[in-house]
Amino acid sequence: MAKLNDNGFEPKIVAFLCRWCSYAGADLAGVSRMTYPANIIPMRVNCSGRVDAGMVMAAFEKGADGVLIGGCHPGDCHYVNGNYKTRRRVILLKRALAEVGIKPQRLHLEWISASEGVKFQRTVTEFTGLIKELGPSPMSGDGED
C-alpha cells in the first residue's frame, strides 16, 4: 500500500475497539497477515458504548495525537444499543474538542465488523495518514492546531 504523506512524524493513536466486532476485525486483519501502520495502540473494550468521554480526553491528555473508536455496525451491537450511544457521544465530543482548540478530525468513529479485516486495515492506514498530516496534537505538548 502506498505511504500517505510521510513527513517523518510518527503519531501515537489510541484505538478503542469493541470486543465483539472491531477487535475481532483487527484479529482477522492480523491472522490474514495484512499490514497496517504500527502507530495504533489497540485497547479492547467490551463495547464501544463503554468508551467514556473521559477516556477519550485522558488519551489526548496522555499524549495521543488521534483517537479511533471501533464499534459494531448500527443494529449489530452485542448489547443492543451501545454503539448508538457512542455515535451521539462522538458528535458532542468532537464539538467539545473543537471548542478547546483540538481538531475534531483527531477523533474518529468507524463501524468495523468481525469479518471486515480489510476495512480495519484501510481505516487504520487512512486515519494514521490523516493524523500525520495534522501533526502532533496541541494537548500532547508539542503541537499546535
Partner 1 sequence: MEKIKVGIYWAASCGGCDVSLLEIDEQILDVAAKADFVLWPCAIDTKYADLRAYKDGSIDIVLFNGAIRTEENREIAKLLRDKAKYLVAYGSCAQMGGVIGLANLSSRKEIFTTLFGAKTHWPKEESNQDGYPLHLPAFLDRLLPLGDVVEVDYVIPGCPPPREMVSQFFDALLGGKLPEKGAVFAAEKNLCDECPRERREERITRIVRPHEIEPDPDICLLDQGIICMGPATRGGCGAVCPMANMPCTGCAGPPANITDQGATMLITIASLIGTGLEGEEELEAEEAILAEIDDVIGTFYRFSLAASIFKGAHRE
Return the amino acid letter for 45: V
Residues between 97 and 136 that touch partner 1 (CB under 8 A): 99-102
30 vs 74 by CB, closer to partner 1: 74
Is residue 21 a contact partner of residue 49, using CB atoms and an 8 Å limit? no
Tell me how many residues contact partner 1 (CB under 8 A). Answer: 26
Contact between 72 and partner 1 per CB under 8 A: no
**Cell numbers found for residue 122:** 484501510
Pairwise CA distance, residues 111 & 107, whole Å: 14
**Cell numbers found for residue 29:** 486483519
Is residue 100 a contact partner of residue 13, using CB atoms and an 8 Å limit? no
Residues between 6 and 65 that touch partner 1 (CB under 8 A): 52-54, 57-58, 60-61
Interacting residues with partner 1 (CB under 8 A):
52-54, 57-58, 60-61, 74, 85, 87-89, 91-93, 95-96, 99-102, 137-139, 144-145
